[in-house]
Chain A
Amino acid sequence: MRKKASILGVRRSYIKKAIVGYLFISPFLVGFIFLFLGTLLQTFEFSRSFMSVGPDGYVLTPVGWDNFRRLFFVDPDFAFELVRAVFGMLPEVAMIIIFSFFTATLINQKFMGRSLARAVLFLPIILTSGVVLALEMNDAMLLYLSDVSGQAMALDGDSMRLLNSIDNMLGNLFITVGNFTIDPAFMIVMAIDNIYDIIIASGVQILVFLAGLQSIPPSLYEASTVEGATGWENFWKITFPMISPLVLVNVVYTIIDSFTRPTNEVMGIIHSMAFGQLDFGGSSAAALVYFLLVILALGIVVGLLSRWVFYYD
């Protein structure tokens, strides 16, 4: 009798907590139901139809899975670009995460001009956003003048020599996956060549890591230093576990950013399908396939990473 009452009590407190949880997330629920779910379903509907735009709105003709079939069996570029997007994303994400964590620890320390350095590292966020980015991409004069990192994506003479000497020292370390060859030395040289792009793409990650480092209670370090821990031990036993949830969110954001930024080739295909060829059905299908791929990539990475992420709950 008594046991039953306690089970009921536990049950009641669970239900109460669940209701409170729903109340906390209620702003999201409202937005999700009214503003997001509908558009998602609409995109799915578009992807299974042929859309013709007339003088009085658009007309949808259902075509089943035709748009999807066309993407994979007729379109020569789409599948290839999908695979290329994945292989381009992997090294980029690794480099951005390492660089941004490194930079965040750097500007978290106390030194003269620290506030200025932090403010400068806030600039990439402004420079890659909205209207500023749009203007920069259209400004031919400026692109010509501020070409600081040499030719994008193509190695210049010096970098080529550096690559050759690394290859001579270490031998050619190739990793071959299907038709794609990954050369770590080439990736490192490429990273040095594209350092500007990496810095510009790490703005958000640097600030998130910085705020994470700031949120670690100083008392933890004080206690462990008194116990005789070295800086190295402090880093691996305190800083790293405390920051690990933010590593996860930064990895997720970097992957999404790499896949969906306007300069991404697949995004370009999706956009030109809709507004160049006026093939809205095909474009919606391509977008859905692409987002599914992004979700799949996220799922794999999150699954691998969440093992060593430390939470207090």
Chain B
Amino acid sequence: MIRRFIESKHTKAVPFKIIRAVLVIGICFMVLFPMFVRLTVSLMDESDLYDPTILYIPSNFTLNNYRMALDGLNYWESLRNSTLLAVATSILTLIACSLVAYGFARFQFPLKRFLFFMVVLMIVIPPQTVMLSQFMFFRYFDFGGFLPFITRDGSRHINLINTFWPFVIMSSTVTGLKNGLFVYILRQHFRSIPKELEEAAYIDGCGYLKTFATIVIPASVPMLTTVFLFSFAWMWTDNYYSSLFLTAPRILSSALGSLAANLWHTYVNTGLGQMTFITPGFSSIVNNAGIFLVILPLFVLYLFAQRAFVEGVERSGIVG
């Protein structure tokens, strides 16, 4: 019976497969075409950009833009800093957001509705609105008034600007980039998992945290991976917090933001040629090369993370 069902499905599916292929290829084309244009631009010489007879295929093919971008981004050092920052913050974000989301999903406590409303409010209010006071908070960080008891010299506040601490503190207290969204996504997900297994675990004397770690987390691998990837990608390309809290430690996103200007400075200072202002063509070719260098690690990460999706499906078989 089942076998006949599957077989009939297979034979019927040929037109369906064709339609599906057309749709998938079409959607992917829409996303990839602008990327393709970027790629061609990043391989062009600046003069090609101004030549109206050249479209997509560079006549002066060059890898020079990539060489310049590697230099200007200080690529390997920035890559290391960015990786360190993004890995640390996304792991902390994932832990904090999933704990908070589970609390909102499964427990009843006073003020719950109000507090969850505040989580949504944190998604609504863009970080730009709270820029000034956040900067002040970390510039004169006082540990909620406890700092004099911790430090040896009894200083009232310390300056956390230009360290990774603001990012660590924000991502472990659910105030980082789009963390409200992560809490919301995970809460909705936890609420859609059957409750029976957790209840069985409680009856067996399993504690709340242990139940969460051993029952709920394994059933949520695809969703947790997705949240991790969002958090990682947004931290990786973030130019808002990194320009607010970091000026000295170079990370990829801030380096990319000032790439054209940096290269222009070295260009002028070393006396390689005359360039009185940054031409749009020059900034376009180096920025596009830079963008590829910056997003390539993300793309590779995503291809690896897909395995977690597949494993997650297999594991989630234990629920239900």
Judged by a CB distance under 8 angstroms, whether B160 is at the interface is: no
| Stretch of A60-68, A76-84, A206-214 lying at the B interface | A206-214
Contact across chains for B185 and A246 when beta carbons are under 8 A apart:
yes
- From B122, B220, B291, A215 is in contact (CB under 8 Å) with B220
- From A109, A145, A245, A294, B37 is in contact (CB under 8 Å) with A145
In the complex, which of the residues A140, A249, A312 has the most CB atoms of chain B within 10 Å of its own CB atom?
A312
- From B34, B49, B219, A146 is in contact (CB under 8 Å) with B34
Q: How far is the CA of A256 from the CA of B110 in the complex (A)?
A: 27
Contact across chains for A117 and B28 when beta carbons are under 8 A apart:
yes
Count residues on chain A whose CB falls below 8 Å from chain B CBs: 98
Judged by a CB distance under 8 angstroms, whether A174 is at the interface is: no
Q: Assuming the A-B contacts A39-B134, A132-B294, are A140 and B280 also in contact, with contact meaning beta carbons closer than 8 angstroms in the complex?
A: yes
Judged by a CB distance under 8 angstroms, whether A21 is at the interface is: yes
Contact across chains for B237 and A310 when beta carbons are under 8 A apart:
no
Q: Assuming the A-B contacts A21-B107, A119-B303, A130-B253, are A253 and B223 also in contact, with contact meaning beta carbons closer than 8 angstroms in the complex?
A: no
Judged by a CB distance under 8 angstroms, whether A129 is at the interface is: yes
Chain A residues contacting B280 (CB-CB under 8 Å) are: 139-141
Chain A residues contacting B100 (CB-CB under 8 Å) are: 24-25, 27-28
Within 8 A of A (CB), among B125-144: 125-126, 128-130, 132-134, 137, 144
Chain A residues contacting B137 (CB-CB under 8 Å) are: 34-35, 38
| Stretch of A165-173, A180-188, A216-224 lying at the B interface | A216-224
Chain A residues contacting B108 (CB-CB under 8 Å) are: 14, 17-18, 21
- Chain A nearest CB from B54 CB (Å) reads 10
Q: Which residue of B lies closest to A140 (CB)?
A: B280
- Chain A nearest CB from B20 CB (Å) reads 6
Q: How far is the CA of A24 from the CA of B17 in the complex (A)?
A: 46
Within 8 A of B (CB), among A29-70: 29-32, 34-36, 38-40, 42-43
Q: Which residue of A lies closest to B126 (CB)?
A: A260
Judged by a CB distance under 8 angstroms, whether B63 is at the interface is: no
Chain B residues contacting A226 (CB-CB under 8 Å) are: 2
Contact across chains for B192 and A126 when beta carbons are under 8 A apart:
no
Q: How far is the CA of A27 from the CA of B170 in the complex (A)?
A: 10
Chain B residues contacting A146 (CB-CB under 8 Å) are: 33-34, 37-38
Within 8 A of B (CB), among A87-132: 103, 106-107, 109, 111, 113, 115-127, 129-132
Judged by a CB distance under 8 angstroms, whether B168 is at the interface is: no
Q: Which residue of A lies closest to B106 (CB)?
A: A313
Write the B134-177 contact mask toward A (1 if CB under 8 angstroms, else 0): 10010000001000000000000000000000000010111100
Contact across chains for B237 and A225 when beta carbons are under 8 A apart:
no
Contact across chains for B173 and A245 when beta carbons are under 8 A apart:
no
| Chain A residues in the interface with B (C-beta under 8 A) | 14, 17-25, 27-32, 34-36, 38-40, 42-43, 103, 106-107, 109, 111, 113, 115-127, 129-132, 134-135, 138-142, 145-146, 148, 195-196, 199-200, 204, 207-208, 210-212, 214-220, 225-226, 242, 244-246, 248-249, 252-253, 256, 259-260, 267, 271, 287, 291, 294-295, 298, 310-313
Q: List 5 A-B contacts (CB under 8 A).
A: A135-B256, A210-B309, A212-B223, A214-B222, A215-B316
